[in-house]
Structure 1
Amino acid sequence: MKQKGKVDVTPSEKFVPQRPFGTAAERARRNLNAKLSNPLAGFSHTELRNQGRTFAEFHEMGDGSDIRAFELGAVLAQSPERYANVAGLTSQEKQVLSREFTHRWSQPWKMYGVIALCSLSAAVQGMDETVVNGAQIFYKYQFGIGDDSSRSTWLVGLVNSAPYLCCAFIGCWLTVPFNHWFGRRGTIFITCCFSAIACLWQGFVSTWWSMFIARFILGFGIGPKSATVPMYAAETAPPSIRGALVMQWQMWTAFGLMIGYAADLIFYNVESSTIVGLNWRCMMASAMFPAVVVCCFVFACPESPRWYMSQKQYYRAYQSMCTLRHHKIQAARDLYYMHTLLEAESSMKLGRNKLLELIKVPRNRRAMLASQTVMFMQQFCGVNVIAYYSSEIFLEAKFSPPAALGASLGWGVINWLLAIPAIYTIDTFGRRNLLLLTFPLMSLAMFFTGFSFWIPESSHNARLGCIVLGTYLFGIVYSPGEGPVPFTYSAEAYPLYVRSYGMALATATTWFFNFILGVTWPSLLAAFTAQGAFAWYGSWCLVGWWLVLLFMPETKGKTLEELDQVFSVPTRFHARYGLRQIGYFVRRYLLRRDVRPEVLYEREELAADQDVGFNT
Structure 2
Amino acid sequence: MGADETPTGIEPAPQPSYHDHSHAEHGVHHSSAIKPTDLSENLDAKIKNPLAGLSKHELLGQVEDFVNEKGLSEHIEYFKKGALVAQDPDSFEEISGEQKLTEEEVAVLIKEVEHKWRVPKVLYLTIITCSIGAAVQGWDQEGSNGAVLSFPQALGLDTSTNYGLYLEGLIVSAPYVGSALLGCWLSDPLNNVLGRRGTIFAAAQFCFWPVLGSACAQTWQQLLVCRLLLGVGMGAKASSVPIFAAENAPASIRGALVMTWQMWTAFGICLGTCANLILGRVGSIAWRLQLGSAFIPAIPLMVLIFFCPESPRWYMKKGRYQDAMRSLLRLRNHPIQAARDLYYIHAQIEVEREILHGSTYAQRFIELFTIPRLRRATLASFVVMIAQQMCGINIIAFYSSTVFEDAGTTAYNALIASFGFGLINFLFAWPAIWTIDTFGRRSLLLFTFPQMAWSLLAAGLCTLIPGEGNVHLGLVALFVYIFCAFYSPGEGPVPFTYSAEVFPLSHREVGMAWAVSTCLFFAAVLSISFPAILASLGVIGAFCLYAGFNVVAFFMIFLWVPETKQRTLEELDYVFAVPTRTFMRYQIFTWAPWWFRRYVLFKKDAVLPPLYHFDRVERVQSESESEKLDNKAQTEMKENAADADPVQKS
- Tell me the TM-score normalized by structure 1: 0.85
Q: Distance in 1 between matches of 2:315 and 2:573?
A: 28
1:36/1:344 contact within 8 Å kept: no
Q: CA deviation at 1:245?
A: 1.1
2:37/2:574 contact within 8 Å kept: no
Q: Distance in 2 between matches of 1:369 and 1:32?
A: 16
Q: Distance in 2 between matches of 1:601 and 1:104?
A: 26
Of 56, 79, 86, the match for 2:67: 56
Q: Structure 2 matches for 1:428-577, cutoff 5 A?
A: 428-458=438-468, 460-494=469-503, 498-556=507-565, 559-560=571-572, 563-564=575-576, 566-570=578-582, 573=585, 576-577=588-589
1:263 aligns with 2:275: yes
Counterpart position of 2:320 = 313
Of 218, 225, 231, the match for 1:219: 231
Q: Structure 2 matches for 1:16-35, cutoff 5 A?
A: 24=9, 30-32=37-39
Counterpart position of 1:612 = none
Q: Summarize the Cα distance change of 1:385–1:497 in structure 2 as closer, same or farther, 3 Å threshold.
A: same
Of 407, 412, 422, the match for 2:417: 407
Q: Summarize the Cα distance change of 1:61–1:550 in structure 2 as closer, same or farther, 3 Å threshold.
A: closer
Q: Distance in 2 between matches of 1:266 and 1:575?
A: 49
Counterpart position of 2:263 = 251
Counterpart position of 2:197 = 185
Q: Distance in 1 between matches of 2:378 and 2:139?
A: 30
Q: Structure 2 matches for 1:115-154, cutoff 5 A?
A: 115-145=127-157, 147-154=159-166
Q: Distance in 2 between matches of 1:597 and 1:391?
A: 48
Q: Structure 2 matches for 1:196-345, cutoff 5 A?
A: 196-270=208-282, 272=283, 277-345=284-352
Q: Distance in 2 between matches of 1:128 and 1:55?
A: 46
Secondary structure of the residue that 1:203 maps to in structure 2?
Answer: helix
Q: CA deviation at 1:550?
A: 4.0
The one-character-per-residue Cα deviations of 1:307-342 (angstroms, maximum 9, x if unpaired) are 222222222222222222333333222222233233
The one-character-per-residue Cα deviations of 1:402-457 (angstroms, maximum 9, x if unpaired) are 32222111111111111111233334444444333322221222222222222334
Quick one: which amino acid aligns to residue 461 of structure 2? F
1:123/1:255 contact within 8 Å kept: yes
Of 419-428 and 191-200, the range deviating more from structure 2: 419-428
Q: Number of aligned pairs?
A: 578
Of 346, 369, 374, the match for 2:353: 346
Q: Distance in 2 between matches of 1:40 and 1:468?
A: 55
Quick one: which amino acid aligns to residue 43 of structure 1? L
Q: Distance in 2 between matches of 1:328 and 1:594?
A: 45
Counterpart position of 1:11 = none
2:144/2:398 contact within 8 Å kept: yes
Q: Distance in 1 between matches of 2:146 and 2:159?
A: 17
1:51/1:74 contact within 8 Å kept: no
Quick one: which amino acid aligns to residue 567 of structure 1? P
Q: Structure 2 matches for 1:67-78, cutoff 5 A?
A: 67-78=76-87
Q: Summarize the Cα distance change of 1:204–1:346 in structure 2 as closer, same or farther, 3 Å threshold.
A: same
Of 399-408 and 542-551, the range deviating more from structure 2: 542-551
1:157/1:518 contact within 8 Å kept: yes
1:363/1:568 contact within 8 Å kept: no
Q: Summarize the Cα distance change of 1:350–1:114 in structure 2 as closer, same or farther, 3 Å threshold.
A: closer
Counterpart position of 1:84 = 93
Q: CA deviation at 1:230?
A: 1.4
The one-character-per-residue Cα deviations of 1:203-244 (angstroms, maximum 9, x if unpaired) are 100111111111110111111211211111122223343232
Quick one: which amino acid aligns to residue 529 of structure 1? G
Q: CA deviation at 1:566?
A: 4.2
Of 187, 204, 215, the match for 1:175: 187
Secondary structure of the residue that 1:104 maps to in structure 2?
Answer: coil
Secondary structure of the residue that 1:309 maps to in structure 2?
Answer: helix
1:196/1:291 contact within 8 Å kept: yes
Quick one: which amino acid aligns to residue 64 of structure 2? R
Q: Summarize the Cα distance change of 1:574–1:404 in structure 2 as closer, same or farther, 3 Å threshold.
A: same
Q: CA deviation at 1:545?
A: 2.5
Q: CA deviation at 1:57?
A: 3.1
Quick one: which amino acid aligns to residue 292 of structure 1? I
Secondary structure of the residue that 2:38 maps to in structure 1?
Answer: helix
Quick one: which amino acid aligns to residue 291 of structure 1? A
- Tell me the TM-score normalized by structure 2: 0.81
Q: Summarize the Cα distance change of 1:296–1:235 in structure 2 as closer, same or farther, 3 Å threshold.
A: same
1:44 aligns with 2:55: yes
Q: Summarize the Cα distance change of 1:330–1:544 in structure 2 as closer, same or farther, 3 Å threshold.
A: closer
Please list every run of 5 or more consecutive structure 1 residues that lacks an aligned counterpart in the other structure.
Answer: 1-19, 609-616
Q: Distance in 2 between matches of 1:456 and 1:433?
A: 39
Q: Distance in 2 between matches of 1:258 and 1:207?
A: 28
Q: CA deviation at 1:91?
A: 2.7
Q: Summarize the Cα distance change of 1:382–1:587 in structure 2 as closer, same or farther, 3 Å threshold.
A: same
Q: CA deviation at 1:160?
A: 0.5
Q: Distance in 2 between matches of 1:471 and 1:585?
A: 29
Of 526-535 and 494-503, the range deviating more from structure 2: 494-503
Q: CA deviation at 1:97?
A: 3.2
Q: Distance in 1 between matches of 2:381 and 2:324?
A: 32
Q: CA deviation at 1:361?
A: 4.5
The one-character-per-residue Cα deviations of 1:51-99 (angstroms, maximum 9, x if unpaired) are 3333333333364xx3333333333333445432333433333333333
Q: CA deviation at 1:588?
A: 5.0
Secondary structure of the residue that 2:526 maps to in structure 1?
Answer: helix
Q: CA deviation at 1:133?
A: 0.8
Q: Distance in 1 between matches of 2:505 and 2:311?
A: 18
The one-character-per-residue Cα deviations of 1:244-288 (angstroms, maximum 9, x if unpaired) are 211222211111111111111122233x5xxxx332212111111
1:53/1:68 contact within 8 Å kept: no
1:584/1:595 contact within 8 Å kept: no
Identity between Structure 1 and Structure 2 (%) = 42
Of 549-558 and 220-229, the range deviating more from structure 2: 549-558
1:368 aligns with 2:378: yes
Q: CA deviation at 1:364?
A: 4.5
Q: Summarize the Cα distance change of 1:266–1:81 in structure 2 as closer, same or farther, 3 Å threshold.
A: farther
Q: Distance in 1 between matches of 2:123 and 2:311?
A: 11
Q: Distance in 2 between matches of 1:418 and 1:540?
A: 22
1:382/1:517 contact within 8 Å kept: no
Of 461-470 and 497-506, the range deviating more from structure 2: 497-506
Secondary structure of the residue that 1:31 maps to in structure 2?
Answer: coil
Q: CA deviation at 1:587?
A: 5.7
- After superposition, the CA RMSD in angstroms is 3.2
Secondary structure of the residue that 2:237 maps to in structure 1?
Answer: helix
Q: Summarize the Cα distance change of 1:426–1:329 in structure 2 as closer, same or farther, 3 Å threshold.
A: closer
Q: CA deviation at 1:168?
A: 1.4
Q: Distance in 1 between matches of 2:164 and 2:368?
A: 40
Q: Distance in 1 between matches of 2:265 and 2:299?
A: 17
2:352/2:504 contact within 8 Å kept: no
Of 444-453 and 585-594, the range deviating more from structure 2: 585-594
Q: Distance in 2 between matches of 1:355 and 1:155?
A: 33
Q: Summarize the Cα distance change of 1:547–1:326 in structure 2 as closer, same or farther, 3 Å threshold.
A: closer
Quick one: which amino acid aligns to residue 57 of structure 1? N
The one-character-per-residue Cα deviations of 1:1-58 (angstroms, maximum 9, x if unpaired) are xxxxxxxxxxxxxxxxxxx999636999953577995322223334333333333333
Q: Summarize the Cα distance change of 1:349–1:567 in structure 2 as closer, same or farther, 3 Å threshold.
A: closer
